[in-house]
Amino acid sequence: MRNPIMVGERVYLRPLEVEDADAIAAMDAGETDTFMWRDRTPTSPLEHTHNIAKAYRRQPPGRIVLAVCLREGDRIIGTVGLFDIDWVNRTGETGSFLAADTRGRALGTEAKHLLLEYCFDRIHMHVLRSDVDEPNTRSAAALAKQGYRPAGRRKWHDVKDGRYFDMLLFDVTRPDWLAARDAWRATRAAGSAPT
């Protein structure tokens, strides 16, 4: 493990490094879910290099993005982050992205629980929110496993193939997250690992 901030059973979180730009661009290029980025514009390592370097300039940061790495093999498989941070009111928006070839093994759930632990226990956020495009049922289900609760919707947020979709809004407090994390850990310990 290299410079870990949060360590889980199978993944760990560390600060993004400029050297991660190539891997992140490759993950973007390998994305198969079209609702993730509507225009499917390819990203470049140069763009990610610029964004990673820029993220460390502002203090206090307006966003914190961490690399999700496998403990075994020390390979970056995605990112998790806290965006739109309001340091006075202790709020922010979380997001995550995992490479398509690593999904369905509960690695994202583990990584997101580590992010929430960081947010609630290390930097003492009060409430976090997350938004999901209505067709993205996988992400909505993942948020529920992490303790997020439905908080509303933005009607007709996006259009695709002539059909409008809503944006689903979720939020989570520390007690909700702790209950969900403990339930997730108990399920894993019982041998039926959720995805």
| Partner residues linked to 101 by β-bridges | none
Q: What percent of the chain has pLDDT over 70?
A: 87
Q: Is residue 1 part of a domain?
A: no
**pTM, 2 dp:** 0.83
- pLDDT at position 122 is 96
Contacts 24+ apart (CB under 8 A), 98-104: 98/68, 99/27, 99/30, 100/27, 100/30, 100/31, 100/32, 100/33, 101/30, 102/77, 102/78, 103/138, 104/195
User: What single-letter amino acid sits at 91?
Assistant: T
pLDDT > 90 in the chain, percent: 52
Q: Is residue 97 part of a domain?
A: yes
Q: Give Cα separations from 49 to 52, 69, 98 (angstroms).
A: 5, 18, 19
Q: How confident is the model at residue 190 (pLDDT cuts 50, 70, 90)?
A: confident
Q: Look at residue 104 and tell me if it is in a domain.
A: yes
Looking at the 3D structure of the chain, how many domains does it have?
Answer: 1
Q: What is the DSSP letter of 32?
A: -
Give the confidence band of 56 by pLDDT, cuts at 50, 70, 90: low
State residue 22's pLDDT score: 83
Q: Is residue 86 part of a domain?
A: yes
CA–CA separation, 120 and 156 (whole Å): 32
Say if 194 falls within a structural domain.
no
User: 55 is in which domain, residue-wise?
Assistant: 6-189
Q: State residue 169's pLDDT score.
A: 96
195 inside domain: no
User: What pLDDT is attached to residue 192?
Assistant: 60
The per-residue pLDDT for range 5-48, each reduced to its tens digit, is 999 999 999 999 888 888 888 887 777 665 444 445 566 677 76
Residue 80 lies in a domain: yes
What does the mean pLDDT of the chain come to? 86
Instruction: Identify the CATH number of the domain in which residue 19 sits.
Output: 3.40.630.30
pLDDT value for 175 = 94
